[in-house]
Chain A
Amino acid sequence: MDAFAHGLVLADQGLLSSGPNNLFNYLILGGVLFALGIFAMVSRKNAVGILLGVELILNASGINFVAFARFNGHQAGYHGFDGQVFTLFIIVLAAAEAAVALALVLAVFQTHRTIEMDRVDELRM
């Protein structure tokens, strides 16, 4: 068997089991969320919109972590709980980051009366 396939554990029964409840679908979901998050970050001008994109990315990785831990956790050498624990920390840190970011957005709104990123642009030479 190709070692890469082994690495991804594509042959794992979790992935090949019938029905929607398998690793592959969760990874697709995570990938789509990630892509949407990147799209939001790139296309949005509004600071809060960009923050929403970041949240999407963080949640995408959270889904990945939990899915990997759930479907591969029983394998030998796989630290099954690490994924769940990591996701909990992601949730906490996302909250902390959002708190600081929103406070800064507020500070910018007080000085600039706008939170459009392309209009908050005095520092470019």
Chain B
Amino acid sequence: MPQGFAELLSRNAADLGLILPEVMVALAFIFGLVVELALPAKDAENAERRKTGTYVLLIGLLLALWINVNDMKAYVGSLDQAVTIYSTGRDGATVTVTRNTDMTSQDFIYSKMVVRDSFGTFVKFVLLLGTIVTVLVALNAKELESNGRGEFILLLAATCLGGMFLASSTNLLMLYLSLESLSIVSYAMAGFLRGDRKSSEAGLKYVMYGAMASGIMIFGISYLYGLTGTLNLDEVAAHFRGMEAGHAPHTRGALAAVLAMVFAGLLYKIAAVPFHYWAPDVYEGAPTTATGFFSVVPKAAGFAVLVRVIAAFFPIGDIDDQGFNFVTAEKVLTVVAILTMTIGNLAALGQSNAKRMLAYSSIAHAGYMLAGLAALSNANGAAAVLFYLVVYLLMNLGAFLVLVALENVRGSCDLDKLRGTIRREPLLGTALVIFLFSLTGMPPLAGFIGKYLIMLELASAGNWLLVVVMGLNSVISLYYYMRLAKAVAIDAPGETPVSGESNPPVLGVLAVGKVAMLLALFVWFEPVQKLCQQVMVPLLPSVDERFVAKPDAGSAVQDEARLTPAPSPEHLAATPEPER
């Protein structure tokens, strides 16, 4: 045995400490599965005992969340020691950029497969929070009662594990593996209700479209590997930028086509417009618990990896870099964002099923978040997206939570059957209306702040088109959200037979908690906004020059003044140091 092997082994074992939250989730999954299998099979008397596996899992998830919060505290705790690293001048103005050394640190582990940084930790927090809430909802969902609830909940944790690795992968192999482990488990969850026509159809459609998208993405990755000889994301991007600089149009076209294949796979995961066809069908057919989960957790992981890939290929916030692909990427992202939000909102208008309506609405919200990414020249655009992810987690998961609760007693999510629910379920009905207000972006709620921050960053990047389109889209979305709110709160109750049982109080408690957090995030949004800006720092082009080759910035494109926001001292690391 070579001597280096033992060394490698001990180092890898030590590295386990750096991915402790993931390890916890994996252990919880395994132990939960063992407990689930060890206990006696389907037996009505044992229904309570069969929840033991779930409780084991829940404890593991909570532990992972606790570890993750501690990690985040370690990153944030060093804020006081923030030091001024460099100051840079642009157009005569002197800008001092304060950077926190700890927030920028990135620990690359397992041959640079995975990275541990503040960005990944933040996203993992969102993923774990969403998963834990969904587990609590799934425990009280009637649709899963005779359908192996324990296994379903284990699948939630498995998806979360894939998402956590996806959010921290820096290697294309790791990216592909975690994307697939996220997707394959989701396929099974969509088709989970055995014998249910809609659920099996949703599962089949999900797996077919998903397999196509991942196949195209993997083909693109094979060319990226061939062109650059490496699978490390940063190195691929560095080679790519070196090749791209100053070449003939057909060369750029070929490179753009390869990159487009890779992005197709990622955009599929977040259901952005040319790749959104699967979403409404899957969301409608899947169990409601799964739909709420799909619209939040895999989407958050998808956005995390999208931010990582975009940050690698197109240096976010680098106002000096206005080469070909930077400007093109901005334009492409702008178009995709406009199409995604507009098509999502327009299609939602005519829906008569609350689940399908919220499916289209979640496409529109993906558009809003893409709009934040489209402000490439503004480093805080991506930070606004992170903020929106948190808000979106609260309000969308909240809306689906209430839908699950209403479905428990009504048996369906059709608008007709939801009429007048507020009279029988005053607490949940009111919560649903509040979530819908927040999804629209009404002022006393955090949804407003989320949209406002994205529009603010777009405006300071000079992308006024997107600001206007976002505003118009909010108005369109008002119509269908209020249609649902009216059905629930104002309309007279229909003839729908209502089951005598009432919902367990835990759902009401969760809903109230989310409403409270939405209100709190409206009032005290600044600390969270700052946190989002800080966790983005490791992904921004930095002083230690992450890119080997850089296209000549002194070209004619640079005179486009629209791409130069005025950096203020508060903008953490908004301005990278000029090379020259």
Contact = CB atoms under 8 A, between A and B. Distances in A.
Nearest to A101: B207
Given A82-B231, A104-B187, A107-B200, A3 B247 contact: yes
B204 A104 contact: yes
Q: Tell which of B188, B225, B242 has the most Cβ of chain A within 10 Å.
A: B225
B226 A82 contact: no
B425 interface: no
B479 interface: no
Contacts of B230: 77-79, 82
Nearest to B183: A97
A117 B207 CA distance: 12
B339 interface: no
Given A78-B230, A82-B225, A3 B202 contact: no
B552 interface: no
Contacts of B254: 4
Given A3-B243, A111-B200, A123-B198, A93 B211 contact: no
Contact of A97 (B204, B211, B223, B356): B211
A53 B216 CA distance: 11
A125 B319 CA distance: 46
Interface string A87-125: 001100100110011011101101110000100111111
Given A4-B251, A86-B231, A123-B281, A112 B215 contact: no
Nearest to A96: B184
A121 B227 CA distance: 41
B219 interface: yes
A51 interface: yes
A104 B191 contact: yes
A117 B223 CA distance: 31
A25 to B, nearest CB: 14
A47 B204 contact: yes
Interface string B215-252: 11011011101111111000000010011000110010
A123 B180 CA distance: 25
Contact of B218 (A2, A58, A96, A110): A58
A53 B574 CA distance: 46
Contact of B225 (A54, A68, A97): A68
Given A100-B188, A123-B284, A41 B222 contact: no
Contacts of A65: 222, 225-226
A118 B216 CA distance: 22
A41 B195 CA distance: 27
Contacts of B356: 125
A97 B191 CA distance: 14
A75 B222 contact: no
Contacts of B200: 104, 107-108, 110-112
B177 A107 contact: no
Interface string A30-69: 1000100100010000010011011001101110110110
B226 A8 contact: yes
Contacts of B173: 82, 85-86, 89
Contacts of B176: 86, 89, 93
A92 to B, nearest CB: 9
A7 B194 contact: no
A123 B280 CA distance: 8
Given A7-B243, A58-B218, A82-B225, A100 B198 contact: no
A79 B191 contact: no
A122 B198 contact: yes
Nearest to B187: A100
B34 interface: no
Given A7-B243, A123-B281, A97 B222 contact: no
B15 interface: no
B202 A123 contact: yes
B197 interface: yes
Contacts of A105: 204
B227 A7 contact: yes
Contacts of B255: 4
Contact of B208 (A47, A112, A122): A47
A42 B290 CA distance: 28
B151 interface: no
Nearest to B216: A57
Contact of B203 (A86, A97, A107): A107
Contacts of A27: 226
Interface string B555-573: 0000000000000000000
Contacts of A96: 180, 184
Given A82-B173, A86-B173, A108 B218 contact: no
A103 B190 CA distance: 12
Given A77-B229, A97-B211, A101-B187, A122 B201 contact: yes
A64 B219 contact: yes
B506 to A, nearest CB: 31
B516 interface: no
A112 B188 contact: no
B203 A104 contact: yes
Contacts of B216: 57
B223 A54 contact: no
Q: Tell which of B196, B201, B284 has the most Cβ of chain A within 10 Å.
A: B201
Nearest to B219: A61
B285 interface: yes
B180 A64 contact: no
A108 B231 contact: no
Contacts of B203: 104, 107-108
B467 to A, nearest CB: 33
A60 B443 CA distance: 52
B212 interface: yes
Contacts of B180: 93, 96-97
Given A8-B227, A65-B226, A68-B229, 8 more contacts: A65-B225, A79-B230, A93-B177, A100-B187, A104-B200, A104-B204, A107-B191, A123-B285
5 contacts: A61-B215, A79-B230, A83-B225, A104-B187, A123-B202
Smallest CB-CB A-B distances: 10 pairs: A78-B229, A57-B215, A64-B222, A68-B226, A61-B222, A123-B281, A107-B200, A54-B211, A4-B251, A104-B203
